[in-house]
Amino acid sequence: MKSLRIPALGAVLSLAVTAFVGPSVAAASETETAAEILRAGAERGVDNGYPGVIGLVRDDADTEYVHAGRGDWYRKVPADPETRFRIGSNTKAFIAAVLLQLEAEKRLSLDDTLDTWLPRVVDTGDHDGSAITVRQLLNHTSGLPEYMNDPRVLVSYTANLNPHKRWRPQELVDIALDHAPTGAPGERPSYSNTNYQLAGMVIEAVTGNSPDLEVRERILTPLGLHDTDFPTDPEPQGDWLRGYFRVGGLPPRDVTVSNVQATGAAGAMVSTLDDLARFERALLSGELFPEPQLAELKNIVPITEDGSGGIGLGVFLTETRCGPAWQHSGAVLGYTTLWLTSDDGSKQVVVAANEYHLIGGTPREQHVAQAALDAYCAL
């Protein structure tokens, strides 16, 4: 099996896709079901420091749920697969879907430049909005640097000093523009949350509405995703998987209330296992937009030497031992999430854990990610 590796943000993996499965390991026993495999991985993740893990495996209409550990560490409440959690960079697929819908409606083209919709927003000696397209934002080939790695954002966000601080998207973009490009527009993929802050700004420029409103009206309501939200306030609503920051053997620190303004269109959304699986299936099966836009969604920029893996528009394609799968994962303060879905959306795995301290690649993360891959191949 090939490794599943997604570009990091540099020194810190704040909102990036964090799933990484290292060199090939022995496949799970053929006698184990997908749910049994995922459950065992969840338990290993808890043994290695996650407070709790929840997961879902779905094969057509058949769905099974798994859980391990605690959803509320200090109240000793078991992790519940029906609770809500922050989905981090999985937000990006929702934003990409809205822009694909707008293209289908002929209200914009993905090949429009940033200056078409956001004149002079990206205009410095090193950065030129007239050379960057909307498509390059969505597949991370814009060359724009990462704002979350700047201490002005990173320190405040990581320490959770002010969950209610209001960050304007333009303010975050300006912070990113203080740094050098990662490459020329279109040259190569480089994962950056700055791209999706700008994508959200494009949505607002085209529609006159905030990206959270457009996501609700275009996707959440039509699909009946009643437990999914795009919050602009950090306070959790309803039943929640509590989120934690944990390093070494120290007790976990509750960071369930964290700053959503710093993540915005790049990673602020909240969902459940069921809702996220429902959205992925609709996204990849063509339920949300016409065939030309579905083809654009799945048109990848290669990120592996053999071209088997790549970045689409808000999604990634990865090669597993049982063939290609679409996936994305997300990490925000207190939460990590990973999903895998077949091309037609019939086979799915979704898993979430309630701890993240902004440094990826921990053994607990590896165990859960490997179990997700093995469970997917057992479907």
Inter-CA distances, 265 with 100, 172, 235, 244, 333, Å: 15, 12, 18, 22, 16
The answer on pLDDT for 290 being more than 60 is yes
Task: Give the model's pLDDT for residue 350.
Answer: 98
Render pLDDT for 32-71 as a digit per residue (tens, 0 to 9): 999 999 999 999 999 999 999 999 999 999 999 999 999 9
Average pLDDT of the chain, as a whole number:
91
- Choose among 279, 267, 300: nearest CA to 348: 279
Percentage of the chain surpassing pLDDT 90? Answer: 85
Cβ proximity of 344 and 27 under 8 Å: no
> Across the chain, where does the E strand assignment appear?
52-59, 62-72, 77-78, 85-86, 244-245, 253-254, 270-271, 301-302, 310-311, 316-320, 323-332, 335-341, 347-353
- Residue pair 331/348 in contact (Cβ under 8 Å)? The answer is no
Pair of tokens at residue 349: 């795995």
Residue 331 zone, left/alpha/beta (φ > 0; ψ -120 to 50; rest): beta
Report how far residue 304's alpha carbon sits from residue 313's, in angstroms, rounded to the nearest whole number: 17
Amino acid occupying residue 163: P
Would you state the structure tokens that stand for residue 306, as one six-digit string?
């053999």
At 148-193, the pLDDT tens digits run 999 999 999 999 999 999 999 999 999 999 999 999 999 999 999 9
pLDDT digits (tens, 9 = 90+) for 295-314: 999 999 998 877 778 999 99
pLDDT of residue 248: 82
How far apart are alpha carbons 304 and 90 in whole angstroms? Answer: 21
Cα distance between residue 127 and residue 1, in whole Å: 39
Which pLDDT score is estimated for 337?
A: 97
Cα-based angle 105, 106, 110 (whole degrees, multiple of 5): 110
- Decide: 362 and 333 in contact? Cβ < 8 Å: no
pLDDT score for 8: 31
How far apart, in whole angstroms, are the C-alpha atoms of residue 273 and residue 54? 8
Provide the H-helix boundaries in 208-272: 211-215, 221-223
Q: Which residues are catalytic?
A: 89
Rounded to the nearest 10 degrees, what angle do helices 169-177 and 151-159 cross at? Answer: 130
Residues 360, 20: contact at Cβ < 8 Å?
A: yes
- Give residue-wise pLDDT tens across range 88-132: 999 999 999 999 999 999 999 999 999 999 999 999 989 999 999
Show the domains of the chain with their CATH numbers: 34-378 (3.40.710.10)
95 backbone dihedrals φ, ψ, rounded to 5°: -65, -45
The encoded tokens of residue 170 equal 């333009």
